[in-house]
Amino acid sequence: MTALELKNISVIYGENTPFRKAALNNINVSFEKGSITGIIGHTGSGKSTLASLTNGLLKPTEGEILLYGENIWDKPKEMVKVRSRVGLVFQYPEYQLFDETVESDIAFGPKNIGLSEEEIKERVRLASEFCGLTQKELRRSPFELSGGQKRRAAIAGVIAMMPEVLVLDEPAAGLDPKGKEEILSGLVEYKNAYGATLLIISHSMEDIARYADNILVMKQGEVYMQGNVEEIFMQAEKLFDANLDVPQITKLFIELKKRNLCRSNDVYTVGYAKKEIEKLIKDSENA
Partner 1 sequence: MLKDVTFGQYYPGNSLLHKTDPRIKMIILIEYLVIVLAATTEIAALVSLSFTLFLITVSGIRFSVLIKSVKPLIFVLVFTAVINLFFTKADTRPLVDFYFITIYKEGIKTAVMMLLRLVSLVLGTSVLISFTTSPLELTDAIESLLSPLKAIKVPVHEFAMMMSIALRFIPTLIEETNKIISAQKARCADFESGNILKRVKSLIPILIPLFVSSI
Sheet holding 70-71, edge to edge: 21-32, 2-13, 62-67, 70-71
Going by C-alpha positions, the residue among 45, 50, 46 that lies closest to residue 242 is 45
Does residue 22 belong to the site contacting partner 1 (CB under 8 A)? no
Please tell me the distance from the alpha carbon of residue 280 to that of residue 253, in angstroms, as a whole number.
12
Between 18 and 69, CB nearer to ligand ATP: 18
Does residue 21 belong to the site contacting ligand ATP (CB under 6 A)? yes
Applying CB under 6 A, the span of 44-52, 73-81, 115-123, 241-249 interacting with ligand ATP comes to 44-52
Please tell me the distance from the alpha carbon of residue 232 to that of residue 226, in angstroms, as a whole number.
7
Residue 90 site contact among Mg ion, ligand ATP, partner 1, none (CB < 5 to 8 Å, cut-off depends on kind)? partner 1
Between 59 and 263, CB nearer to ligand ATP: 59
Give the x/- contact pattern for Mg ion in 14-53, rule: CB under 5 A.
Answer: ----------------------------------x-----
Chosen residue from 43, 135, 284, 286 binding ligand ATP by CB under 6 A: 43
Residues 6+ apart with CB under 8 A from 29: 5, 6, 216, 223, 226
Applying CB under 8 A, the span of 34-42, 109-117, 204-212, 235-243 interacting with partner 1 comes to 109-117
Residue 177 site contact among Mg ion, partner 1, ligand ATP, none (CB < 5 to 8 Å, cut-off depends on kind)? none
Does residue 47 belong to the site contacting ligand ATP (CB under 6 A)? yes
Q: Is 243 left (phi over 0), alpha (psi -120 to 50) or beta?
A: left
Give the x/- contact pattern for partner 1 in 111-130, rule: CB under 8 A.
Answer: -xx-----------------
* DSSP element (H, E) containing 30: strand 21-32
Applying CB under 6 A, the span of 45-53, 175-183, 241-249, 251-259 interacting with ligand ATP comes to 45-53
Chosen residue from 161, 200, 223, 229 binding partner 1 by CB under 8 A: 161
Contacts 24+ apart (CB under 8 A), 26-30: 26/63, 26/222, 27/63, 27/221, 27/222, 27/223, 28/223, 29/5, 29/216, 29/223, 29/226, 30/2, 30/4, 30/5, 30/6
Does residue 219 belong to the site contacting ligand ATP (CB under 6 A)? no
Distances (CA, A) of 253 to 38, 206, 262, 268, 269: 22, 14, 8, 9, 11
Give the x/- contact pattern for ligand ATP in 22-41, rule: CB under 6 A.
Answer: -x-----------------x
Task: Give the interface with ligand ATP as residue ranges (CB under 6 A).
Answer: 13-14, 21, 23, 41, 43-49
Binding interface with Mg ion (CB under 5 A):
48
